[in-house]
Amino acid sequence: MTPRPRAVPLDGLPPEVTVYEVGPRDGLQNEAATVPVATKLELITRLVAAGLKAVEVTSLVRPGTVPQLADADVLLAGLPREDGVRYPVLVPNLRGLDRALGLGVREVAVFASASESFAQRNLNRSRAESLEIFRQVCRRAGEAGIAVRGYVSMCFGDPWEGAVGPEAVVAVASELLEMGCREISLGDTIGVATPGAVHEMLAQLVRAGIGIGTVAVHFHDTYGQALANTLEALRSGVTTVDASAGGLGGCPFARSATGNLATEDLVYQLDGLGVATGVELEALAATSMWLASQLGRPSPSRTVAALAGHLGT
């Protein structure tokens, strides 16, 4: 029998959470070797079969910038089509958006930074310059009826600047919402946040007039804080959590960034809290076990490791 947590709800938590899966994009972009497109499509098919309804599949950047995602056009053409399943795609600029529109993409994301240093290193332009480009992307996407998600990276700390204050995050998030982003995902890119910092950040966003319903969280588990930070975000009213199957990921532009919150670890916790996700834990863990075999190394997810003896691939 597969071990399952006993559901014991806590007061103050939402009854349902959207798990926004980023493994095929944010997870695989950090792999040293390129994963075949057939493997990526199999991964996405398995994730959808496990019940995930929002799967960020790739990024339409220049192939030389992130070579692991150079197969984006082929991948998008081969996606399994399921009713109610979203396949967002990251776009860096208007050229990327034009590619997305030509490929039939219906939802895109842009990637801003709360810190000036990371904007320069990741986007090769200032924070203000990058936001102006995203304003143009949002305008054109709106005209085409395309939803836009806005990421804000380095929300709690930056490898070059140190701690990042909430006021910087509030400023960038406010601007992204003003230009038309429907959701803002707050990224702890190098995994330095703790629950108190999460509470403070979300409280300041609300005080600034940003509705908590437009906010998602994206935690990396560098110091083992991702689940604790997620629980604090849920207590603050957040209902969308980014996660990566098997805990894959990092950031090729910030070497101190390690893997994302593992989707299996998140779903196990939410199952135990009686919070609905629509995701089948066993199918999800089996998917990450299969992917680990394709990558040639064990999954960093503790839940996957714990279930490995009970599940086949």
pLDDT category of residue 312 using cuts at 50, 70 and 90: low
Average the pLDDT over 103-119 and give the result: 92
267 pLDDT exceeds 80? yes
Closest CA to 49 of 280, 270, 264: 280
Pairing of strands 157-158, 162-163: antiparallel
What is the CATH classification number for the domain harbouring 187?
3.20.20.70
Query: What pLDDT was estimated at residue 282?
Result: 96
Evaluate whether 231 touches 9 at the Cβ level (below 8 Å): no
CB 97 within 8 A of CB 91: yes
The answer to whether residue 32 is domain-embedded is yes
175: Cα separation from own chain's centroid: 20
Residue 192 lies in a domain: yes
Domain span at residue 248? 18-307
Residue-level pLDDT at 252: 45
| Residues paired with residue 6 on neighbouring β-strands, in sequence order | none
pLDDT tens, residue by residue, 36-82: 999 999 999 999 999 999 999 999 988 878 889 999 999 999 999 88
Q: Note the pLDDT tens digit of each residue in 147-163.
A: 999 999 999 999 888 89
Query: Has residue 53 been placed in a domain?
Result: yes
The stretch 236-247 carries a mean pLDDT of 97
For residue 114, tell me if it sits in a domain.
yes
In which band, very low, low, confident or very high, does the pLDDT at 265 lie, cut at 50, 70 and 90?
very high
Residue 2 lies in a domain: no
Catalytic machinery residues:
251
Q: Is 201 left (phi over 0), alpha (psi -120 to 50) or beta?
A: alpha
- At residue 121, the pLDDT reads 75
The reply to whether 11 falls in a domain is no
Distance CA(26)–CA(248), nearest Å, equals 8
- Number of structural domains in the chain: 1
What pLDDT score does 162 carry?
A: 85
Residue 121 near residue 154, CB atoms below 8 Å? no
Residues 6+ apart with CB under 8 A from 300: 246, 247, 248, 259, 262
**Ramachandran bin of 237, using left for φ above 0, alpha for ψ from -120 to 50, beta for the remaining angles:** left
Lowest mean pLDDT among 200-204, 302-306, 308-312: 308-312
Give the mean model confidence (pLDDT) for residues 153-178: 94
Task: Provide the pLDDT confidence category of residue 250 given band limits of 50, 70 and 90.
Answer: low
As a whole number, mean pLDDT of residues 260-285 equals 97
Residue 12 maps to a domain? no
| Cβ-Cβ contacts under 8 Å for 177 (sequence gap 6 or more) | 150, 184, 210, 214
- Min mean pLDDT across 217-226, 245-254, 277-286, 304-313 is at 245-254
Rounded mean pLDDT of 150-177?
Answer: 94
**CB-count burial class (<10 Å; 0-12, 13-18, 19+) for 165:** middle
* Per-residue model confidence (pLDDT) at position 249: 75
At 278, which helix (H) or strand (E)? none
Residue type, 189: T
Run of H or E residues at 218:
strand 215-219
Determine, yes or no, domain membership for 144.
yes
* pTM, to two decimals: 0.95
Residues 46, 291: Cα–Cα separation, whole Å: 10
Confidence band of 253 (pLDDT split at 50, 70, 90) = very low
